[in-house]
Structure 1
Amino acid sequence: MSFDLAVWDGDRPLDNRQAGSTYDELYERYLESDDVAVPAAPRITAYVEALVARYPDDVDRSVVWASTPVIDEASGPVVYLLMSYDKAEEASEYAAELAREHGLVCFDPQGECLRP
């Protein structure tokens, strides 16, 4: 079982409904598409690097990530984070805080809400 977050580069939506629409558009365009992979945007790459500096995504050492390497879940301006459920509370809190520090939007697609 996993806990998921989406983090993207863009203006912060006004509310959860707008965030859900933005998430759906980004997911369909960048993550679900079978087209040629789009390299992660520089701000997303920097975010993922900072995130895995705290929570390594090495297959043999990772206790947080349900999918590694984390950068493989990034495309263009968005990254989809799949966290092991037992570490999700701590890691998701840090991921949301780090997103805010990087000027990125953090959205919980399961709860359909923006993370502060």
Structure 2
Amino acid sequence: MSYDLAVWEGERPANAKSASRVFRDLYDRYLDGEVMDPPSERITAYVTALLERWRDITEDEEETSPWSVGPLIAGASGPLLYFGMSWRMAEEASAYAAQTASSMGLICFDPQERRLRP
């Protein structure tokens, strides 16, 4: 089981309900189809920032990576990244992911709890 986050480009939704709607629309458009778009430059930069903190799980021989699937960039399409992390590191990794998204002008959303982060 993993803890998932969604990060995307755009204006910050006014509330969690609108964020849920935006997330569903982006997911349907960019991740649910047969062909995924290349990740945008900002999403690629965001993934790079996350991987500077913790290595990709595909390269993690010491099992210290919080990411539950890899390569991490595989969860990105266009302006959206949807990714999971292991429960054992979810609190630390999700806080870092949300803070990094905010610092880069990206939206961070918790789809399980349907809430914006941070």
TM-superposed CA distance for 1:58, in Å, is: 4.0
Match status 1:56 vs 2:58: no
In 1, Cα distance between the equivalents of 2:57 and 2:68? 11
Q: TM-score, normalised by structure 1?
A: 0.95
In 2, Cα distance between the equivalents of 1:19 and 1:70? 23
The equivalent residue for 2:84 is 82
Q: Which one-letter code corresponds to 1:6 in the other structure?
A: A
- For residues 9-24 of structure 1, the aligned pairs below 5 Å read 9-24=9-24
The equivalent residue for 1:33 is 33
Maintained 8 Å contact 2:57/2:69? no
Q: Which ranges of structure 2 fall in alignment gaps of 5 or more residues?
A: none
Match of 1:110 among 105, 108, 112: 112
For these two proteins, the number of residue pairs brought into alignment is: 115
In 2, Cα distance between the equivalents of 1:58 and 1:3? 15
Q: Which one-letter code corresponds to 2:6 in the other structure?
A: A
Q: TM-score, normalised by structure 2?
A: 0.94
Work out the percentage of aligned pairs sharing the same amino acid. Answer: 50
Maintained 8 Å contact 2:57/2:67? no
TM-superposed CA distance for 1:32, in Å, is: 1.0
The equivalent residue for 2:46 is 47
